[in-house]
Structure 1
Amino acid sequence: MRIYLIGYMACGKTTLGKELAHNLGLSFLDLDKYLEKKYFKTIPQIFEEEGEAAFRQKEQACLQEVSEFEDLVVATGGGAPCFFDNVQVMNRTGICVFLDVDAEELADRLQKSKIDRPLIKGKSPEELTSFVEGMLEKRRPYYEQASYVISGSNITASAILSRIEFEHE
Structure 2
Amino acid sequence: MRYFLIGFMGCGKSTIGKKLAKKIGYSFIDLDRYIESKLYKTILEIFNEKGEAEFRLIETKYLKEVSLFEDIVISTGGGTPCFFENLDLMKSSGKVIYLHLEHQALVNRLLNSKRYDRPLLEKLNRDDLDIFVSNKMSEREAFYEQAHIKISALSIDIDELATKIL
State the shift of 1:152 in Å.
5.0
Q: Which residue of 1 aligns with 2:152?
A: 151
Separation in 1 of the partners of 2:54 and 2:81? 16
Q: Give the structure 2 partner of residue 56 of structure 1.
A: 56
Tell me the residue number matched to 2:16: 16
User: Does the CA-based 8 Å contact 1:102-1:152 persist in structure 2?
Assistant: no
Structure 1 residues 52-91: aligned runs within 5 Å? 52-91=52-91
Q: Give the conservation status (yes or no) of the 8 Å contact 1:11–1:101.
A: yes
Share of identical aligned residues, percent? 46
Within 1, Cα distance between the matches of 2:43 and 2:15? Answer: 19
Three-state SS of the structure 1 residue aligned to 2:123 is coil
- Tell me the secondary structure at the aligned position of residue 108 of structure 1: helix
Any stretches of 5+ residues in structure 2 without a counterpart?
none
Distance 1:126 1:159 in 2: 36
Q: CA deviation at 1:156?
A: 2.9
Give the C-alpha shift of residue 163 in structure 1.
2.3
What residue is the counterpart of 1:108 in the other structure?
A: 108
Shift of 1:39: 1.2
Q: Which amino acid aligns with 1:56?
A: R
**What is the DSSP-based 3-state SS (H/G/I as helix, E as strand, rest coil) of the residue aligned with 1:51?**
helix
| Deviation readout 1:42-76 (Å, 9 max, x if unpaired) | 11111111111110000000000000000110000
Pair 1:122 & 2:123 matched: yes
Number of residue pairs matched? Answer: 165
Alpha carbons 1:17, 1:157 under 8 Å: kept:
no
* TM-score for the superposition, normalised by structure 2: 0.95
Give 1:129 shift: 1.5
Note the residue ranges of structure 1 that are not aligned, 5 or more in a row: none
CA RMSD across the alignment: 1.1
Instruction: Give secondary structure in 2 for the equivalent of 1:68.
Output: coil
Cα distance, 1:135 vs structure 2: 0.5
Q: Which amino acid aligns with 2:2?
A: R
